[in-house]
Amino acid sequence: GQQLNQSPQSMFIQEGEDVSMNCTSSSIFNTWLWYKQDPGEGPVLLIALYKAGELTSNGRLTAQFGITRKDSFLNISASIPSDVGIYFCAGQTASSNTGKLIFGQGTTLQVKP
Amino acid sequence: GAGVSQTPSNKVTEKGKYVELRCDPISGHTALYWYRQSLGQGPEFLIYFQGTGAADDSGLPNDRFFAVRPEGSVSTLKIQRTERGDSAVYLCARGLAGRSEQFFGPGTRLTVL
């Protein structure tokens, strides 16, 4: 099925560093969501974005809805060990009227203390 | 948790057998979604319920897969004649009509031997 292109696939960083990841699509999206998934758990919603250009923060996390409506970015500032996990972008296309989400392949984040 | 419980947490079955996976969301959420997550991938949409009816079943891979939600709360995903390729984590998510946010349960890990 259709998936978003998410990059990078994985990151290994030092504690305290900032992190950036992004998601792109060939289709226009009405909504972008960012989730974090820990092993053996379901994805947990971090941030939801609804308008092109929107910039939203949740603690040390900041996400942006791209102006073209075909991309989104997530930044994590001053990373800590508990940020370890898999981050997924997800979106709803402009043509969808059922709310189903299309997910990226995920970015695996590892933080070295 | 996210207000969604899923049972069983793990299910091991043999090829050709029938399985049922259950999703129990907290009350008041009329929208319910099933996704399938293969190893190393993001979740992929299977089916969406609005109340008791399946409003979008376009993600079901074939007619071996079927889902019901007879009273508009608990949902059951049914897989007939299981195949090894059905092995995955099956995730259920709740949502509110007209809202984009979806909140996931912990998933059921299905292994078909």
Q: Which of B2, B43, B56 has the CB atom closest to A98's CB atom?
A: B56
Contact B59, A100 (CB under 8 A): yes
Token couple for A46? 């971090």
Question: Are A43 and B104 inside 8 Å of each other by CB?
Answer: yes
Residue B6 host element (H or E): strand B4-7
Q: Does B91 touch chain A (CB under 8 A)?
A: yes
Instruction: Return the higher-pLDDT residue of A61 and B26.
Output: A61
* Residues across chain B: 113
By DSSP bridging, strand B31-37 and strand B19-25 are unpaired
Predicted confidence (pLDDT) per residue in A13-22, tens digit: 999 999 999 9
Predicted confidence (pLDDT) per residue in B71-113, tens digit: 989 999 999 999 999 999 999 999 987 788 999 999 999 999 9
Terminal alpha carbon distance of chain A: 38
Predicted confidence (pLDDT) per residue in A29-51, tens digit: 999 999 999 999 999 999 999 99
Residue A23 CA: distances (Å) to CA of A7, A29, A51, A80, B102:
6, 11, 16, 23, 19
Q: What 8-state DSSP symbol labels residue A104?
A: B
Question: Are A88 and B42 inside 8 Å of each other by CB?
Answer: yes
The SS3 of residue B43 is coil
Nearest chain A residue to B104, by CA: A42
Give residue A99's pLDDT band: very low, low, confident or very high (50, 70, 90). confident
Contact B38, B28 (CB under 8 A): no
Q: Is the peptide bond before A8 cis (omega within 30 degrees of 0)?
A: yes
pLDDT attached to residue B65: 98
Question: Are A45 and B43 inside 8 Å of each other by CB?
Answer: no
